[in-house]
A and B are shown apart, each in its own frame.
Chain A
Amino acid sequence: MDPLFMACSYFRRRKFQLCAEICTALLEKNPYDQAAWSLKTRALTEMVYVDEVDIDQEGIAEVILDDNAIAQIARPGTSLKHPTTSQAGGPSPAVRPMSQAGRPISGFVRPGTSSGRPGTMEQAIKTPRTASTARPVTSASGRYVRLGTASMLTNPDGPFIHLSRLNISKYAGKPYLAKTLFEYIFHHENDVKSVSLFHQYFLSFSSIKLFNLAALATEHSQFKDWWWKVQLGKCYYRLGLHREAEKQFKSALKQQEMVDIFLYLSKVYIRLDQPLTVLVLLKEGLDHFPGEVTLLTGIARIHDEMNDIVSATEYYKDVLKQDNTNVEAIACIGSNHFYSDQPEIALRFYRRLLQMGVYNCQLFNNLGLCCFYAQQYDLTLSSFERALSLAVNDEEVADVWYNLGHIAVGIGDMTLAYQCFKLALANNNDHAEAYNNLAVLEMRKGHHEQAKGFLQTAASLAPHMYEPHYNFAALSDKVGDLQSSYVAAQKSAAAFPEHVNTRQLIKQLQQHFSML
C-alpha cells in the first residue's frame, strides 16, 4: 500500500505515533514532500492538542498584577473578582464546603477553575502547586512548562521544525501549509530556551514567529479569511493584549459567525472581568446558533462564577435538554441537589454518569455519599471500595477516606471514624477538613490539647473555612481563654457572617468583656 495512504489511514484512526513515523521515513527519502510534511505536522499537533477554549489558566503574576479590570471597586454583581456573597437560594457554607475564593466547591473542575483567586501574593504562592494542579507564575511560563514537556513526548530526538530557521513569508503565501504550521507552533512552542523580554510582557521567540506568520497570512488573504483573524486574536490573547484580541475576534465575527469565535471572545471578556458583557455576547450567539451546547455551558459557568446558583442550574438544565450526556451539566446539577437536601435526585444524576461510562474515583465517591444520605445503605460501602481502588493519586485516596470518616460518624462508630480521618491525613498531610473533624473527635474523648493542636493546623491550612475557627473559639471559651476565643470567633465570622452560633458566642464574649 502506498505509505502516504497508510499514514492517512493511521491519522484517521488516531494512531498518531505510527503516522508520524511513516511520515518521517517518507521525508527522509524526499525532504520536499509537502504532503508528508503537512501530515506529519498535523499528526504531531493532534498528539498534544488540547481545546484552547477550555483552558483559562491565569498565572499568579496575572492575577496579582492585573490591570485589566476596568473598575477597581465594581458594583456588586458585575465583577468576577468580587462575587456577590449573598447566595440567595443556594445552600450556605453551613451545609456546603467552600473553596478558597469563597464560592461553593462546584461539581466540575476545568483547568484554571480549581484554585480560585488568591488575595495576596503570599496566598498565591502557598496554594498547592504540584505538577498536576499547578497555578503557574505567569500563564506564559505555565504554558512552557506544560508544553515543553509536550515536545518531550512527541520529539524525544529533537524538534521537528526549527523555528529559528523558518522562513515565515515563504509559508505565509501557501495557505494550506501555513494553517497546519500555525497550529503546530501554537500547540508545541518547543523552543523553550530562547526567551526574550519585550516591554513588560514575556514573549518567546516562537511567539514572535507565530505572530508574524499570522499577520502575514492575514495580509495575504486580503483580510477576508476569518480563520486567520481568529488565530491572530488568539495570539493577542496569549500575549495579554486583550483589547486587540477583542477587535480581531469582532471583525472575524462580522465576516462569518462561528461558535468558536463567540467562545474565544467570551474568554477575552472574562479576562477583562466583564461578566455581564459575556452574558450578552453568548445570548447573541444563541440567537444565531439556537440550542448550542457550548454557548449554554458558557452562560451557566458565568452564573456559577458569580455565585448565582439558581440561574446556573437553569442553564445547565437547558444544556441537558439539548445534550443529555453532558458531563459538566450533570455533575453540577447533581452536586447542587446533594447540598440542597435532595440526595436521591443527586443519586439519579450520578447514576446516569455511570451509565454513560464514566468510571473514576470521584464518581464512585459521589455515588457512595449520595447512597448513604439517601438511605440506600447496601450500595454505599461497595461504591466507596470501588472509589478507593480507582484512586489515581494520594489526594484522591485521602478524600475518599475523609468521606468514609463522615459515614462512620453517621452510623456512630467513633473508632472507625477516628481511623478513617487519620488515614486521610496519612495520605494527604494538608487535608484541613480531616484535621478539623479529628479535632472534634478528640474533644469528645476529652483530649483538649490534641484537639487544640489539630484545630490550629486546620485553621492555618485553610483560613477560608469557618469551622476550625469556630471550633477553636468554642474550645477556648470552654477552658476559659476568652481572648483567643474572641480572636478566633472574629475570624469565623469573617468567613461566614451568618453563622448563628458564632454570633451568639461573640455577643456573649462582648458582654463578658464590658462587665466589670
Chain B
Amino acid sequence: MLESLRDKSEVALSVKSLRYLLLDPNEMEGYVSLYKMQPIKRQTIITCMATLKKNMADEDAVCCLVIGTESGDMYILDPEAFTVQAKMALPSVPVYLDVTGQYDVEFRITVACRNGNIYILRRESRRPRYCVELGSQPVGLVRVNKNMVVGCAQDTLHCYTQKGKKLWTVFLPAAITTMAGMDHAAKGFQAVMVAMANSQVHVYRDKHLVNIILAQDVVTSLCFGRYGREDGTLIMTTKGGGLLIKILKRTAVFEEKDMSPGPPLAQSIRLNIPKKTKLYVDQTLRERESAVAMHRTFQTDLYRLRLMATRAYARVLEANLAPFSSSLSEPLKMNAVVQGIGPCFKLTLNLQNTSANQPSINLLISFMYDENLYSMERGFFKLPMLVPGLNYPIQTVVDCRSDKGVADTIKVFVLQVGRSSPLLTAHINMPVSEGLVVA
C-alpha cells in the first residue's frame, strides 16, 4: 500500500516511510517495532515569509507571521505565542508572497509558485480561490495598489488584478534579476523597480517606463524606503559585491514619455536627401521640351547597343572565350588565382559544376603560354569527375624563366573528350616575377 502511495506521489511520504520501503522484507518488522511509538513527522523548509497586520492597519500595529513552506503549506502564526492560527494548502511550492489586509477582518494572500502559477488565498478558505497561469517561471512579485506586477523568465512584466485578470504586459530588454516596489507616500507615488542583467534598473509606473538607472554592475537586490532622515532612498547591492545608495531629490518629478503606440521613432528622422538643385530643375525642363527627340535617340542607341552586345556575346560563345561554359549539358565555371612572388608561382584553378544534379566526366585541362617565358609542371592533364555544387581547386606550378621583368598571359582551356572546341577559356594575366631581383 505504501508503495502504491509512493508511486502515485499524491501524498508525500515521510523520511521514515521512505526508509521503510527500502528495507529488506525481513528487516521491516524490526524497523517498525523500533519506531512505532514515535509520531511520523516530516521536516519541511520555509521558502518565504511575510507579515500580516492582526487587527489594525497602523504602521506599527501588531503583526502575524505568514510562512510558506517547501511542502506547499501556508501557515499563519500568532505573534505572541507563535501558535499556528491558520493553515492553508497549495498545489505547489510557494516562492513569492504578498499579503494585504488584516487577519481579523479580511486578508488576501497572493502567492507565486514554482509551477508558474499565481494563487490568491482569502480568509476562511483553505484552498486558493483564484489561479493565474503564467507563461514562464515567475521571477518577482510586487503589489502596486490593487494590482500585482509579476516578472517572468521570458524578460516580461505582467500586471494582474486581484481577481486574476491580465491588465498589461511590458517587454524588457534583458533578463530580470530582481524586483521591488517603490512606494513614496509623501508624493503619493507608487511604482515597480526592475533590475536587469544589463546593469540597468527600470522604474515602471503603470506600464510606463518613467526612469532608467544605470549601475556599474548587475544589481542583485533593491530596497526603497526611509533611510535615516531621508524619505526616498534606494539601496542597491551589485553582483560584484558593491553597495549603491541613491537619494531621490525632493524636486524630482517622474514623467512618462509618450509611449503610446504610434509610428516608430525612426520614422521621424528625416532622410538625408540632397536638395533639388537648380541644375536638376533645368534638366527636367530640357526633358520636357525635347522629350520625343531624346526618346528617339535613346531607342536608336539602344538598338545599336543591343546589336553590339549580341555580336560580342556571340563571338565569345563561338570561341568559348568565357570562363563559364555555354553548353547546356555541361554547365561549368572556372576562375583562376595566382599566388607567389616569382620566379615560381602557384596557379589555382577553381572549377565548379553548376548543374543541379549532373556530374561532369571526361574533362581535360590544357594550357597555352609562351614557352620562352614560362615553364609549367604539367601542360595537359585530366580532371576528376566533378560533383555538382562543389568547388574543385586544382593547383599547378608555373616557373618564370626570364629575369627581365616581363609578364605575359596564360590561357587555360577546359576540353571535353569528343568535342573539337574548348568548353571554356580563362585568361590569366601573370604578375611580374620579382624573385630573382629580390634574391
Query: Which of A's residues lie within 8 Å of B, judged by CB?
Result: 60, 122, 125-126, 128-131, 134, 136-138, 141-142, 144-145, 148-149, 152, 192, 195, 202, 340-342, 344-345, 348, 374-378, 380-382, 384-385, 394, 404, 411, 413, 416, 419-420, 422-423, 425-426, 429-430, 448-450, 452-454, 456-457, 460-461
Contacts and interface: CB of A to CB of B under 8 A. Distances in A.
Contacts of A448: 356
Contacts of A131: 405-407, 431-432
A452 B331 CA distance: 13
11 contacts: A122-B339, A125-B341, A131-B432, A152-B404, A342-B277, A374-B280, A375-B287, A377-B298, A381-B298, A381-B304, A416-B309
A119 to B, nearest CB: 16
Interface string B284-309: 10110000011101100110111011
Given A131-B431, A419-B313, A449-B389, A192 B305 contact: no
A213 B184 CA distance: 88
Contacts of A149: 404-405
Interface of B: 273-274, 277, 279-280, 283-284, 286-287, 293-295, 297-298, 301-302, 304-306, 308-310, 312-313, 316, 321-324, 331, 333-341, 350, 352, 354-356, 388-389, 391, 404-407, 426-432, 434, 437-438
A375 B293 CA distance: 14
B117 to A, nearest CB: 22
Given A145-B437, A429-B428, A450-B331, 20 more contacts: A125-B340, A126-B337, A131-B405, A131-B432, A137-B438, A141-B438, A148-B404, A149-B404, A342-B274, A376-B286, A377-B295, A378-B293, A378-B297, A419-B310, A423-B313, A425-B322, A429-B323, A449-B355, A452-B354, A456-B391
B437 A141 contact: yes
A138 B313 contact: no
Contacts of A129: 338, 431-432
B306 A377 contact: no
A394 B438 contact: no
Nearest to B429: A130
B430 to A, nearest CB: 8
A378 B302 CA distance: 10
B295 to A, nearest CB: 7
Contacts of A394: 427, 429
B309 A378 contact: no
A196 to B, nearest CB: 12
Contacts of B341: 60, 125, 137
A495 B347 CA distance: 27
A190 B215 CA distance: 69
Given A420-B309, A449-B389, A450-B331, A426 B321 contact: yes
B426 A429 contact: yes
Contacts of B338: 129
Given A125-B341, A378-B293, A426-B322, A416 B405 contact: no
A413 B427 CA distance: 29
Given A341-B274, A404-B305, A457-B335, A377 B294 contact: yes
Contacts of A342: 274, 277, 280
B217 to A, nearest CB: 26
Contacts of B283: 344, 374-376
Contacts of A461: 335
B40 to A, nearest CB: 42
